[in-house]
A and B are shown apart, each in its own frame.
Chain A
Amino acid sequence: DTEVTQTPKHLVMGMTNKKSLKCEQHMGHRAMYWYKQKAKKPPELMFVYSYEKLSINESVPSRFSPECPNSSLLNLHLHALQPEDSALYLCASRRAGGPPDEQFFGPGTRLTVL
Chain B
Amino acid sequence: QQQVKQSPQSLIVQKGGISIINCAYENTAFDYFPWYQQFPGKGPALLIAIRPDVSEKKEGRFTISFNKSAKQFSLHIMDSQPGDSATYFCAARIIQGAQKLVFGQGTRLTINP
Chain B interface size band reads: 20 to 34
Q: Determine the distance from Cα of A35 to Cα of B47 in the docked complex, in whole angstroms.
A: 19
Let me know if B85 is at the binding interface, CB within 8 A.
no
Question: When A and B form their complex, what is the total count of cross-chain residue pairs whose Cβ atoms lie within 8 Å?
Answer: 55
**How many residues in A have their beta carbons less than 8 Å from beta carbons of B?**
24
Q: How far is the CA of A106 from the CA of B87 in the complex (A)?
A: 16
Given contacts A90-B43, A101-B49, A102-B46, contact A56 B97 (CB under 8 A): yes
Q: Which residues from 37 to 69 on chain B have a C-beta closer than 8 Å to any C-beta of chain A?
A: 41-46, 49
Q: Please tell me if the beta carbons of B93 and A101 are within 8 angstroms of each other in the complex.
A: yes
User: Which residues does A use to contact B, with CB under 8 Å?
Assistant: 4, 31, 33, 40-43, 45, 48, 50, 55-56, 90, 92, 94, 101-108, 110
The 4 A-B pairs of least Cβ separation, nearest first, read A42-B103, A105-B43, A55-B98, A48-B98
- On B, residues with C-beta under 8 Å from A are 32, 34, 36, 41-46, 49, 87, 89, 93, 97-101, 103-106, 108
